[in-house]
A and B are shown apart, each in its own frame.
Chain A
Amino acid sequence: MSKIVVLGAGISGHVAASHLRRKLSKAHEVVVVSPNSNYQWIPSNIWVGIGRIKSEKILFPLASLYKKKHIDFKQAKAVSFHPEGDAQEQKPYVLAEYVAGETKGQQEKVTYDYLINATGPKLNFEATEGLNPGTNKAYSVCTYTHADHAWEGLNALIQEMKKGKKAKILIGTGHAKATCQGAAFEYILNVEQELRRHNVRDLAEITWISNEYQLGDFGMDGMLLSYGSMTMKSSEMVEMVFEDRDIKWILGAGVNKIEDGIAHYENLEGETKTETFDFAMLIPSFSGHGFKAFDKNNQDITDKLFKGFMIVDADYTPKPYEEWTVQDWPETYQNPTYKNIFAPGIAFAPPHTISKPRKSKNGTEIFPSPPRTGMPSGITAKLVADNIIDSIKNNKESLKHKGSMGNMGAACIASAGFGLTQGSGISITTFPIIPDYVKYPKTHGRKLGKTFGEIGLAGHWLKLALHYAFIYKAKMKPFWWLIPE
Chain B
Amino acid sequence: MTQRISKYQRFKMMNPILQFFKFIYLSLKVLIIVAGGHGGTRKAH
Q: Which residues of A contact B (CB under 8 A)?
A: 236, 239-241, 243-244, 326-327, 329, 331, 375, 379, 383, 402-404, 406-411, 413, 421-422, 424, 427, 429, 431, 436, 450, 452, 454-459, 461-462, 465, 484-485
* Residue contacts A-B, CB under 8 angstroms, 17 given: A243-B2, A244-B5, A326-B41, A327-B41, A402-B38, A402-B39, A403-B40, A404-B41, A404-B42, A407-B38, A407-B41, A411-B30, A411-B34, A452-B29, A455-B13, A458-B20, A458-B25
Tell me if A462 and B27 are in contact (CB < 8 A): yes
Query: Separation in Å of the A419 CB from the closest CB of chain B?
Result: 10
Cβ-defined partner of A409 (8 Å) among B13, B25, B38: B38
Inter-subunit contact A409/B34 (CB<8 Å): yes
B41 touches A424 (CB 8 A): no
Looking at chain B's contact residues, is the secondary structure mostly helix, strand, loop, or mixed?
A: helix
The distance in angstroms between the C-alpha atoms of A427 and B36, with both chains bound, is 17
Of the residues B22, B34, B40, B42, contact of A458 by C-beta under 8 Å: B22
Which of the residues B22, B30, B34, B41 comes within 8 Å of A331, measured between beta carbons?
B41
Residue of B nearest to A315 (CB): B42
Please name the residue on chain A nearest to B20 by beta carbon.
Answer: A458
Which chain B residues have a beta carbon within 8 Å of chain A's beta carbons?
2-5, 12-16, 19-20, 22-23, 25-27, 29-31, 33-36, 38-42
Tell me the minimal C-beta distance from B19 to chain A in angstroms. Answer: 4
- Smallest Cβ distance from B13 to chain A, in angstroms? 4
Interface of A is mostly: mixed
Q: What B residues does A404 contact at CB under 8 A?
A: 38-42
Check B5 against A240 for contact (C-beta < 8 Å): yes
A240 and B38 contacting across the interface, CB-CB below 8 Å? no
Contact between chains at A462 and B38 (CB < 8 Å): no
Residues on A with C-beta less than 8 A from B15 are 457
**When the two chains form the complex, which single residue of A329, A457, A461 contacts B13, counting CB atoms closer than 8 Å?**
A457
- A239, B2: Cβ atoms closer than 8 Å: yes
Q: Would A457 and B19 count as touching, CB distance under 8 A?
A: yes
Minimal Cβ-Cβ distance residue in B for A244: B5
Known: A244-B5, A424-B13, A456-B14. A409 touches B41 (CB 8 A): no
Residues of A within 8 A of B26 (CB): 427, 454, 458-459, 462
Query: Which residues on the A side are within 8 Å of B13 (C-beta)?
Result: 424, 455-457
Return the contact of A406 from the options B3, B23, B41 (Cβ within 8 A): B41
Given A239-B2, A404-B39, A408-B38, A431 and B22 contact (CB-CB distance below 8 Å): no
CB nearest neighbor in B for A326: B41
Given contacts A244-B4, A407-B41, 6 further A-B contacts (CB under 8 A): A326-B41, A379-B38, A404-B39, A456-B22, A457-B14, A484-B34
